[in-house]
A and B are shown apart, each in its own frame.
Chain A
């Protein structure tokens, strides 16, 4: 069974799509409008799951597992959501999301040319994410 990472999405506090990158084939192609709509939907569902959870003070959905994919959501302390879509048997989705968060803190938050909550357009970030997802042997 392969352990592939399909894509990484980053949503801001309001549910807008900040970053979206595909690493392997296997997912349906989406137009950019569909991507924005789905990001907003995911944000809404995340908020709903935090409310309807029978366990009080839940954080919101963390993993959605389906037959052909697994979606892992990492909610940061500041309200951003890092979403990784992988094959269901991928062993370390959370770890990859942690590393992506580190790369975000290092290359996006410390970049004076990035406006917070806006889409991320940073070469440094792209390079670091590539290193996280495809570590050089």
Chain B
């Protein structure tokens, strides 16, 4: 044997990757937390067999290269039926409008977090000098134009700064496509099913480093009865950082 047995008091860190078999004694079913407590950095050396999910027999969308589906479209009718059932399902399990909007927001959040990664990968992943926005207005512009175009094939219709509060901004869409077929009954008039889109925006902002509270409000305008405004209220830390960066220039 080229390597002498390690001294019992020597930390296993120093053996490097020389003797994986000595650590493989814990059986696969033992709780992994106990292993982590004792030898956190040697976890990678464990030869615990991984259980693979049974194969479907055909490739799914998750197996395709990430750029293959770029620009692919989903039928709006298919989405409308799926979202209608999502809303009905959630509505049966909540106690009020605020909770329903929160649920839809959470669902949109899941979509937004993943979509941001995909979007940034597709646009900057292959470039030599990947860029990202670090200032407030370029980030809002990114959401208003790039994100909307990627999701809905059209830029949003308006980007405004609120006059009452310094940390509130509004993105408006005259005909939001996700809720095109939904008509809110009069007894639920404060509900906006665009809470899903608000969730997407909230996750994208969070991923870009601008945590905020994002809500959707229906503001019908002449000619556009479904016009919706996504209200973005940035956290205090974001506004402070933005001010500090602005002064440091």
Contact = CB atoms under 8 A, between A and B. Distances in A.
B181 A107 contact: yes
B88 A112 contact: yes
A110 B80 CA distance: 6
**Chain B interface size range:** 10 to 19
A121 B185 CA distance: 7
Interface in B185-200: 185, 188, 193
Contacts of B183: 107, 111, 113-114, 122-125
Contacts of A110: 77, 80-81, 84, 181-182
A106 interface: yes
Interface string B75-97: 00100110111011001000000
Contacts of A127: 225
Contacts of B87: 112
B219 interface: no
A120 to B, nearest CB: 10
A127 B220 CA distance: 14
A106 B181 contact: yes
Interface residues of A, number: 13
Given A123-B225, A127-B225, A113 B184 contact: yes
A111 B183 CA distance: 6
A112 B225 contact: no
A106 B88 CA distance: 17
A121 B183 CA distance: 9
B76 to A, nearest CB: 9
Interface string B37-69: 000000000000000000000000000000000
B225 A113 contact: no
Interface in A104-119: 106-107, 110-114
B85 to A, nearest CB: 7
Contacts of B85: 112
Interface string A125-137: 1010000000000
A128 to B, nearest CB: 10
Nearest to B182: A111
Contacts of A107: 181, 183
A127 B65 CA distance: 43
Contacts of A123: 183, 225
A107 B76 CA distance: 13
Contacts of A106: 80, 181
B108 to A, nearest CB: 16
Contact of A113 (B77, B81, B83, B188): B188
Interface core residue of A106, A114, A124 (most chain B CB under 10 Å): A124
Nearest to A122: B183
B104 to A, nearest CB: 11
Interface of B: 77, 80-81, 83-85, 87-88, 91, 181-185, 188, 193, 225
12 contacts: A107-B183, A110-B77, A110-B182, A111-B182, A112-B83, A112-B84, A112-B88, A112-B193, A114-B183, A122-B183, A123-B225, A124-B182
Interface of A: 106-107, 110-114, 121-125, 127
The 5 A-B residue pairs with the shortest CB-CB distance, nearest first, are A110-B181, A124-B183, A112-B87, A110-B80, A122-B183
